Structure 1
Amino acid sequence: MTGLPGAAGWAGRRAPLLVEGCTAQLLVLPTRVQLHLAVMDGREGDMPVCRCARQLRDLHHRRGHSMSLPGTLTEIDRARAGYVAEIDAWVARCIRPSPAAVTAPTSLGSVIDKLARAADRATALFASGDVFGYDMHLAWEMLAREEMVYDELAQAAGEGRVRFPEPKG
């Protein structure tokens, strides 16, 4: 993304955060709504975290339809781990926590992977036609919970209040 906040292309986006300790580096984590649109609708825009989140959602979908194919689950899980690692590496490069920041119990990539799994489950149930069932209610509630977890962590990270575990590999 080029340009400054307020310019074309920034409409509806959270203002970028100047991260203390970075040399004029702008950190823009997607909002909960942007991440929701990426995993539910494929509208990931130009944000690397949203692109990875959409890929994770697609992999969860493939995983749900590949339960009986030998080797496929391992391949899918390996690909998922790659996207989680990509998100975590991006976060490690871009987020500079304050010295007083607390360590998060999990990585942002893992949180987004859970959100993608919840999105896939919710849309699969919706497509099944049982839109009023108890399972449908639970699936959408789980998606909302995962989105709130992401939102709280992303906000805390943007403010420098949280640090994430070191990326693996």
Structure 2
Amino acid sequence: MLASGKVPPTLWGFQIINGIILGGVYALIALGYTLVYGILLMINFAHGEVMMTGAYVGYFVLSGLTALGIIDSLPLLGIFLVFAAGMGASLALGVTVERVAYRPLRRAPRLVPLISAIGASIFLQNAALRIFGPKIRVYVKPPLLKGGWNILGTQLFVT
């Protein structure tokens, strides 16, 4: 905000772009919750933790590929590998949670799978904190995306 109390137009642009991106992420999460509830008739509280694990795996694969120079020399292959690793890790963890925490309780009263889902969520949160630590991590920008796109004064890149 400026000293005059007015909001500069570029800040509005930033907020619009941030809102669209955050809304897209929320829509993907909601779609996952809806699919799981529609099929299993239970709420998967560990859904966010599964997504977080995929993001961490993607981060570490991107860091490793950058250190090896693959991102600089073959950026499209590197980005594909990052996506594949993140999605594969999410898939593996999601299937594991379903088989360990949800499937054995299919015929149990409705409250039992709910408690199991909350327990799986808490377990995965604490496991991630223990494994990855509380430090904030930032993705490196692949050279393929140098410059990115400028939308309403907001620099945007997607990996």
Query: Which TM-score band applies after superposition, normalised by the shorter structure?
Result: 0.3 to 0.5
TM (normalized to structure 1)? Answer: 0.35
Q: Which of the pair has the greater relative contact order for Cα pairs under 8 Å at 6+ separation?
A: 2
TM (normalized to structure 2)? Answer: 0.37
Over alpha carbons, which structure has the higher Rg?
Answer: 2
Instruction: Specify which structure has the higher proportion of helix.
Output: 2
